[in-house]
Structure 1
Amino acid sequence: MIPFNKPFLTGKETQYIQEAVASGKISGDGVFTKKCHNFFETKYGFKKCLLTTSCTDALEMAAILINIQPGDEVIAPSYTFVSTVNAFVLRGAKIVFADSRADHPGIDEDGIEALITPKTKAIVPVHYAGVACDMHKIMSLANKYNLFVIEDAAQAIDSFYKFPDGTVKPLGSIGHLAAFSFHETKNIIAGEGGMLVINDERFIQRAEIIREKGTNRSAFFRGEVDKYGWVDVGSSFLPSEIIAAFLWAQLENLEKIQEKRQSIWSYYGKRLSKCFAASFQLPDVPDYATNNAHMFYLVFNNLEDRSLAIEKCKKEGIHPVFHYLSLHKSEYYKNKHDGRQLNNSDHYSNCLLRLPFYYELEESNILSICKNFE
């Protein structure tokens, strides 16, 4: 059997968890949390990083930080996970769904401006499969209309965007805020877990308060105040040291993990490019983006072809999966959507198939998988 995903352990996860337990401090913001924060801030130049219990939590913090109010509008792709938009719906926002690009499941950047109204407060681009949205276009619109940009970088660790002037920046470092995921299906994992990245300095102090249940507890432990209390809204968004310890073992091996995932992605591409299949298309990576080898997917011509491919694979003990269902057609939001047709989003919902992808996937496994599409 070839599963869709298999969590990879570097070998030091349990050792670091034991060290965290032995330290006598397993609540959040201990030694391993600080190690993780420093890693991201140093390697990628993020201004401020705060680990969270999930990427969902990071997005919810972002919604609070930009002060989303009932009636505010937030532009986001329909083809994404519900957490992307639910974070803003919880604060009373109306989601204005954008379609995907024809050549990639990411948001159609050229369709965003037509969706902006005086009520628009933020754009939430999702870097699908770790491949960058066109952030130059998005940031230009944000500057023109005075909007916030929150990057949903759940899948985008160690991926980059190249601006027209040649400047290269890591995904998550471009918008005002960004959210990452360390779910077990991601490149770097902690079982669950996430991170809020704050690139706009005006949000740093308040982010710490929101993360600590609305208290200035972090400032107290730094000796900046002589006691701490309730000063703002917030919740318990910070993870335990056990999660951070697990994550640190992964981050120590980021280059090794990425090297292996890149080789898997390349081998998939090499094998499947020889198929000359009229029934599916391979992933497209724009010139301005890098590929962090988060996933390998195929886009079939129709739902029937995809369904047949899934059944064929399952008979061989192989488990590919389809991905998101268009949120504008979801049971919860379909009556709130403005009625626009989002054809590309629906196409990916019906036709995109994610192939098994994990660190221990071998070339022999990939050959077995690819034979089902030849």
Structure 2
Amino acid sequence: MIPFNKPFLVGKETSFIEEAVKSGKISGNGEFTTKCHKFFEEHYGFKKTLLTTSCTDALEMAAMLINIGPEDEIIVPSYTFVSSALAFTRQGAKIVFADSRKDHPGIDEEGIEQLITSKTKAIVVVHYAGIACNMDVIMDIAKKNDIFVIEDAAQAIDSYYKGKPLGSIGHFGAFSFHETKNIISGEGGLLTINDEQFINRSEIIWEKGTNRSAFFKGEVDKYGWVDTGSSFLPSELIAAFLYAQLKHLTKIQDKRKTIWKTYFEGLVSLQERGKLQLGIVPDFATNNAHMFYVITKNIKERDSLIKYLKSNNIHAVFHYLSLHRSPYHVKGLKGKEQSLPEADRYTNCLVRLPLFYSLKIDEVETIIKTIKSFY
């Protein structure tokens, strides 16, 4: 079976973990955490970065930093992972779901403004498949309405919008290093803080609501509980694994882009014949090769394709189930339903193909041949 995903080692992951243990400190915010922060801030120009135990934690920190509460509304695309909404609804906010674009699973930028009310406090944009949303449109809407923008860049490391790194454009960015992502650490995440007014408080929330970071910098003579927060920082073992991967970022990205290009060149003839639809990369965006997906004509065809691939020892998967139709959300609507046809179409028709660092090109060619055989 060609798996959908497979974790990988690319450098000194295990030796860095051993180094962390021998240093005598494996709790969070140690030497490897500092090295990771420095990498992200120097490589991408983020104003402030904080490693977290997951992208979900990074989003929860963003919700705390802008003081989300029960009177607030947050605009979130329906076609996304639950964390994009959960981080804000657990603070009591009302989630207002937005539809996807017709040509891409990302948020329909042109439909955002009609969802804004006097209670709207933030827009969460998800850079699906690592492909940027139209951030000029989104930031203009946010500025005009005095609302925050949080970039859910879980899939978007090393991807850009008009030359700007994703995660650096909104007030906050949130990344994931889950084992299915380009750069991995098993679990793990990163919060980027792009608005300087939140930098000091972000460290307090990160450190369980204490001013511990200020204490270690010599800014206070003792530390205590001064704000809300939680235990968001990961252990040095996670940071050590992550740092080893970051040192080989270019190598990893080059391999993934080769796989993506092989898929595209092998399957584009099916798109030209009208058999299926491939993902797009708008002129304003770059492609970080996070995933390769195809869009079938209907759910019956999608299920048949996945079943056919499985019968040929290839593990392909569908992706998100529209959150506006989730049991948790519908339960709170009291019978009212939203109509978000594009989100539902991607729910029913999108198929993700295997894409991971150690996937061999001859395996990719086998997958392409099998899909062509299906059609």
TM range (shorter): over 0.9
Which amino acid in the other structure matches residue 369 of structure 1? I
Which of 311, 314, 321 pairs up with 1:315?
Answer: 311
Contact 1:296 1:357 in 2 (8 A): yes
Q: How does 1:1-374 map to 2 (within 5 A)?
A: 1-162=1-162, 168-275=163-270, 276-337=272-333, 339-374=337-372
Contact 2:205 2:229 in 1 (8 A): yes
- Once the two structures are superposed, residues 103-148 of structure 1 have per-residue CA deviations (whole angstroms, 9 ceiling, x without a partner) of 0000000000000000000000000000000000000000000000
- Say which SS state the counterpart of residue 50 (structure 2) adopts: strand
Q: State the distance in 2 between where 1:158 and 1:349 align.
A: 26
- Once the two structures are superposed, residues 25-83 of structure 1 have per-residue CA deviations (whole angstroms, 9 ceiling, x without a partner) of 10111110000000000010000000000000000000000000102000010000000
Q: State the distance in 1 between where 2:146 and 2:296 align.
A: 39
Q: State the distance in 1 between where 2:13 and 2:295 align.
A: 36
Deviates more, 1:273-282 or 1:10-19: 273-282
After TM superposition, the runs of 4+ consecutive aligned structure 1 residues lying more than 3 A away are 335-338
- Say which SS state the counterpart of residue 332 (structure 1) adopts: helix
How far the C-alpha of 1:335 sits from its partner, in A, is 3.6
- Say which SS state the counterpart of residue 87 (structure 2) adopts: helix
Contact 1:106 1:126 in 2 (8 A): yes
Q: Provide the aligned C-alpha RMSD in A.
A: 0.8
Unmatched segments (≥5 aa) in structure 2: none
Which amino acid in the other structure matches residue 279 of structure 2? P
Q: State the distance in 1 between where 2:167 and 2:207 align.
A: 22
Structure 2 length as normaliser, TM-score? 0.97
Q: State the distance in 2 between where 1:144 and 1:181 align.
A: 30
Which amino acid in the other structure matches residue 330 of structure 2? K
Contact 1:55 1:193 in 2 (8 A): yes
Contact 1:213 1:233 in 2 (8 A): yes
Q: State the distance in 2 between where 1:8 and 1:137 align.
A: 38
Contact 2:309 2:371 in 1 (8 A): no
Q: State the distance in 1 between where 2:283 and 2:197 align.
A: 33
How far the C-alpha of 1:277 sits from its partner, in A, is 4.6
Structure 1 length as normaliser, TM-score? 0.97
Q: State the distance in 1 between where 2:248 and 2:110 align.
A: 38
Contact 1:37 1:51 in 2 (8 A): yes
Contact 2:62 2:150 in 1 (8 A): yes
Unmatched segments (≥5 aa) in structure 1: 163-167
Instruction: Percent identity, please.
Output: 67
